Amino acid sequence: MLERDFVGHARTVPLPRWPDGSLVAVNVVVNVEEGAEAAWPDGEGNDSWGEYALPIDPAIRDLGTEGHYEFGSRVGIWRLVRLFERFDVPVTFGVSARALERNPPFAAWLRRSGHDVLGHGYRWAEVSAMTEEQERDDLEHAMRVLPELVGRPVRGWYVRSFPSERTRRLAAAHPDLTYDSDAVNDELPYWTEVDGAPWLVVPYSKVYNDTRYFLAPTYATPRHFAETLIGAAGFLLEEAHDGAGARLMTVGLHPRWSGQAARATAVRDFLAWVAGQPEVTLVHRGQVADWWTEHASP
């Protein structure tokens, strides 16, 4: 059974600043899931994470929700790409491998771009509903497909919603993976132990995440999302100035949601704010993992 840690870094300051001199590092993670979700044509029923939460009998095809996912891959991802190119942002794309297989133009762009890639399963499915063998097979399938599609190694892993008790052990057993991002129990990276060896955790966030458009308390407008992100980054900067040390902020986006024109304004406004803060830097997750490994080793 996994042990719980209620202490974490406590009042220690693992790093006074990030190696590039910044006080706050912001990592934008784009969850590329469209095409990997459960869908009737794949014999998997329907997935409820669209623009509405009406339960549809799995025996009946839910064209409405399918359309919301297709918007993400057809339109939303490119709208976000244009914003990232406009602000010259290094981004982490958390990719479900089947989604990338089904969107060759985006796969080709991602391969050329050099952006960071984080493994997000082959299918976008709840691993807690799988057997250990099924979860291992899904991880290994993704880790065969993703490096071939993106043309570079994939070193990090996270799953849909929340991990199972075995997820970290399965990730640590894969020879190419060096960290996981399933934890939401901290902001800074930290070291833990898996089967007697040190293992790096770079936490994710369910709070600075556009899922809050749909999960209570919801954002009534994109302005509320932008204000939340700017408020968080500003507060982290204050903490760093007061001696708390280097801070990390993770922002989670989804093409089918933040790729809608109105909601993209929140992303735009946040990136514009960050661009005006000399002590706040935009980084990808691989950089954070490398920095922590080099400067805050276990």
Please list, residue by residue across 193-232, b when 16 or more beta carbons sit within 10 angstroms of its beta carbon and e when fewer do.
eeeeeebbbbbbbeebbbbbbeeeeebeebeebbebbbeb
Q: Label the pairing between strands 190-194 and 197-201.
A: antiparallel
The pTM score is: 0.96
Instruction: Please state the rounded mean pLDDT for residues 100-106.
Output: 98
Domain-located, residue 6: no
Report the CATH number at residue 239.
3.20.20.370
In whole numbers, what is the pLDDT of the chain averaged over residues? 95
- Domains identified in the chain, total number: 1
Q: Range of 69's domain?
A: 24-295
Which of 96, 93, 296, 284 lies closest to 200, judged by CA? 296
Given this model, what pLDDT does residue 50 score?
A: 78
pLDDT at 188: 98
Task: With residue 180 as reference, give the H or E element that holds it.
Answer: strand 179-180
Query: Would residue 258 count as lying in a domain?
Result: yes
* pLDDT one-digit tens code per residue, 12-39: 999 999 999 999 999 999 999 999 999 9
How far separated are the first and last CA of the chain, in Å rounded? 22
Question: Residue 54 pLDDT > 90, yes or no?
Answer: no
Across the range 84-112, mean pLDDT stands at 98
User: Does 192 map to a domain?
Assistant: yes
Q: Measured between alpha carbons, how far is 170 from 139 in angstroms, rounded to an integer?
A: 8
Tell me phi and psi for residue 64, to 5 degrees: -65, -50
Cα gap 56→225, rounded to integer Å: 29
Token digits for 132? Answer: 């250990």
In a domain? residue 280: yes
